[in-house]
Amino acid sequence: MNPVIVGVIGTFLIFFLLFLGMPIAFALMFVGFAGISYLASIGAALPVVARTVYEVSAFYPYTVIPLFIVMGGFAGSSGMTQELYSTFDRWFRKLPGGLAIATIGACAGFAAVSGSSVATAATMGTIAFPEMKRFNYDPRLATGSIAAGGTLGFLIPPSIGFIVYGMMTEQSIGKLLIAGMIPGLILAAAYISIVVIRVKISPSLAPASPKPVSWREKFTALKGVWEPLAIFLVVMGGIYLGYFTPTEAGAIGATLLFLVSLIKMKLNRQNLGKALQEAVRISVMVLFLVAGANVFSYFLALSTIPVKVAAWAGGLAVSPYLIHAIIVIIYLFLGCFLDAISMMVLTLPVIFPIILALGFDPIWFGVIAVLMMEAGLITPPMGLNIFTVAGVVKDVPVEDIFRGTLPFLLSIFAIVILITIFPKLAVLLPGMMLR
């Protein structure tokens, strides 16, 4: 049978197995193993699987993932999230939708010391929603701002999304992390603008204004910002200036947050165990996803699909940006059914060669890809952040949360368009790095 046909059959088989409920990591590995066995031999396929699982688990830069997850766990246990929310609340509460704005600001701040979007959404859901409910905020606006704000954890470094993209495409993880800084701040500003505009149009969405805050209280509240800001500057500044690698930065950040938790006497056996368990759970999940994707990539390479598709796309007499738009639409569709990391490992073996053939900057496309992964976190019917918030707040229907996130989802696409028109927004800082 023609290798290309075998590759197409294998791709459809993956979606069939996912429909049956097989975890995507094992579906990728099974189809990759079966495809290599068919196109080469089972004697060739067995070493590929064994070697791939070992190489991924022994890949030194991979250790940055558990370190960044542990950073988020220690940040939460130290009470940093509550302090961030309190600070932003005091500064923004008099603006239209001030509590929702404070929520988004606190999400951005927490994202700067945590690599997990879900953790950001869950943490902020427990803190911010009761306050917004107390002041009669519309449940859709309240939960929508929490779920959307949580997506910032996937874009603002440290970010697991950029780490996986770097591992899959062999791009500099440090440059990818730095590339997310400007787009992350722009997206946070866009979220805040959406809240202000919605409340200006419909004041009933946030009918009650909390009591005014004096300037003294505002400046006193800034003490809740210096810890995450200092740690973010040490971690990301060290990467940017070339003082240490992302893995070393993760270790330094985790150590600093561990010490902060100890000094504040907020770290106990339960918090420590929870942070370590979460780090192990997410790290093992990502490990198997990347290993499965690599096995599947070997199969696709034997089928010659990536090379032929890339050559076909590069030879089309159409604008490369049209193909880029089609890729974005594909990601939008897949986001309805797959979680962010799964979507990335499933598509990059085919899509990344197309991006290179079209002459796009791989660091720039990494930002686009992570933005689309963010969109998948709040896209119905499988938006992971939506169900995370629903599990935390409990008394708001899932469909209402989806409706509340729709304006924020549209803003993600607006930022994708903005970065497509002005790619310097994504590549300026990485291009200035010392190494």
Residue 237, both tokens: 């500044």
What pLDDT tens digit does each residue of the chain (435 aa) get?
Answer: 788 888 888 888 888 888 888 888 888 889 889 988 988 888 888 888 888 888 888 877 778 888 888 887 787 777 777 788 888 888 887 788 888 898 898 888 888 877 677 777 887 888 888 888 888 889 999 999 998 988 888 888 888 888 889 888 888 888 999 999 999 999 999 999 999 999 999 988 887 666 777 777 777 777 777 888 888 888 888 888 888 888 888 889 888 888 888 888 777 788 788 878 878 887 888 888 888 888 888 888 888 877 777 777 777 778 888 889 988 888 888 887 777 787 888 888 888 988 988 889 999 999 999 999 888 888 877 777 888 888 888 788 888 888 889 999 999 999 999 999 999 999 998 888 766
Residue 221, both tokens: 């509240």
Residue 194, both tokens: 């959406």
Question: How far is C-alpha 205 from the chain's CA centre?
Answer: 28
Q: Give the phi and the psi of residue 396 in degrees, each rounded to 5.
A: -115, 125
Domain ranges for the chain, please list them: 3-431
SS3 (DSSP) at 154? helix
d(CA 133, CA 152): 23
Give, as one character, the DSSP assignment of residue 382.
T
Give, as one character, the DSSP assignment of residue 212.
P
Rg of the chain's alpha carbons, rounded to an integer?
Answer: 22
Q: Give the phi and the psi of residue 298 in degrees, each rounded to 5.
A: -60, -45
d(CA 401, CA 386): 6
